[in-house]
Amino acid sequence: MQTLTIRKPDDWHCHFRDGDMLKAVAPHTAKRFARAIIMPNLSPSPVTSTKSLLSYRDRIRSATEDYPGFTPLMTYYLTDNSDSDEIAKGYTDGVAAAVKLYPAGATTNSEYGVTDIKKVYPVLEKMQEVGMPLLIHGERLTYDDGNRVDPYDREKLFIETTLEPLLRDFPALKVVLEHATTKEAVDFVLNEKSERLGSTFTVQHLMLGRPDMFEGGLQPHFYCLPPIKRDEHRDALRKAVTSGASHFFIGTDSAPHPTTAKERATGCAAGMFTAPAALEFYAQVFDEEGALDNFEAFTSLNGPHFYGLEPNAETITLKKEPWTIDEMVAVESGESIRPFGYHEEPEKRLPMYWKIEQ
């Protein structure tokens, strides 16, 4: 197969940031995707109110004005003190698509996140009532006794101690376990056997194994949260994603950071900026697994079905053509962002074998 035409896909998990960073990164997503779920973890003030949500949406539309067909799907940032009525009204009024739950301290700009799942049960009750999806960063940071959880065990523990009882307590709540990274996660979603539970997957968790973070020395640009897991987990994810199962859909978790934040001596920023070639990398994974027939379902059909939306009528075509990302992304502030796949040494750039036909 030398060309592949699919309905234009959507990205069901994407970070745009704000200000100059927003202007630099948003067009890369708008070029490849018709819609995108926009994460609300802005700094210093996350999107917790309808007023801030609408203001952020306006800034996104301005940054993507060259792609008038692109639609940002907005989300609220869930806190211990979120207003359930305001959130439900935002959904029923059609201005918000979902709510994002970050366990406090779990990842970038999550310090205002949920400290105890029971504190947000009133919000979840209201969301269940109106059919509003809950998007979860599925990691637990500490045990009941306060001791820290190994970062490689956080997802598994979250599923066992938080997600499983949550689904029992709210049997009609729609939930997305975002950026799944473990065999336990895909098995749990499949065993649920319900259309109200879905999961998204990133490019990096499908392509990289834990040793890649340490090959030739510590690789800060491969650091993300949840972290890259062992090869056995990556292989389980690839099998699940390419199987055609309707529970799974695309969510890049494209998370741009200035190079200075990724390469500093302490506190390396977590996240990978995959938007400039995310769709092409996903196509490569499906091609390697001999599953291109299931590519459109993962990228363009399963997500809209979960969210109760129609698939996009427009199509996009990829062709078999080798290429690499050969430059950084410049930001007006003078910063630069290193896309996933780029390397200063040309021979070390990740090769791609599918390219969007212009």
The string of pLDDT tens digits covering residues 93-118 is: 999 999 999 999 999 999 999 999 99
| The pair of three-digit structure tokens given for residue 255, joined into one six-digit string | 């998370």
Q: What does the pLDDT read at residue 96? A: 98
**What sections of 112-152 are H helices per DSSP?**
121-130
Residues annotated as catalytic (active site), given as ranges: 253
In this prediction, residue 1 has a pLDDT band, given cuts at 50, 70 and 90, of confident
C-alpha distance from residue 50 to each of 85, 95, 101, 121, 347 (Å)? 11, 8, 16, 20, 47
- In sign, the C-alpha dihedral spanning 167, 173, 178, 183 is positive
For the chain, the domains span 9-309
206 CB contacts (<8 Å, ≥6 apart)?
234, 237, 238, 241, 282, 285
Three-state DSSP at 75 gives strand
Which of these, 251, 351, 247, lies nearest to 294 by C-alpha position? Answer: 247
Cα separation, 171 vs 180, whole angstroms: 21
| The pair of three-digit structure tokens given for residue 243, joined into one six-digit string | 């199987």
In this prediction, residue 50 has a pLDDT band, given cuts at 50, 70 and 90, of very high
The string of pLDDT tens digits covering residues 227-274 is: 999 999 999 999 999 999 999 999 999 999 999 999 998 889 999 999
Q: What is the DSSP letter of 12?
A: E
Cα separation, 4 vs 293, whole angstroms: 9
226 CB contacts (<8 Å, ≥6 apart)?
138, 139, 151, 154, 155, 179, 181, 205
94 CB contacts (<8 Å, ≥6 apart)?
none
Three-state DSSP at 44 gives coil
The string of pLDDT tens digits covering residues 313-331 is: 999 999 999 999 999 999 9
Domain 9-309 has CATH 3.90.1300.10: no
User: Is the per-residue pLDDT at 358 higher than 80?
Assistant: no
Mean pLDDT of the 211-218 span: 91
Q: What does the pLDDT read at residue 265? A: 87
Is 0.85 topped by the overall pTM? yes
Cα separation, 15 vs 41, whole angstroms: 8
In this prediction, residue 348 has a pLDDT band, given cuts at 50, 70 and 90, of very high
Which of these, 76, 23, 340, 95, lies nearest to 203 by C-alpha position? Answer: 340
Judge whether 72 and 61 are in contact, CB under 8 Å.
yes
For residue 198, give the H/E element and its range.
strand 197-201
The string of pLDDT tens digits covering residues 122-181 is: 999 999 999 999 999 999 999 999 999 999 999 999 999 999 999 999 999 999 999 999
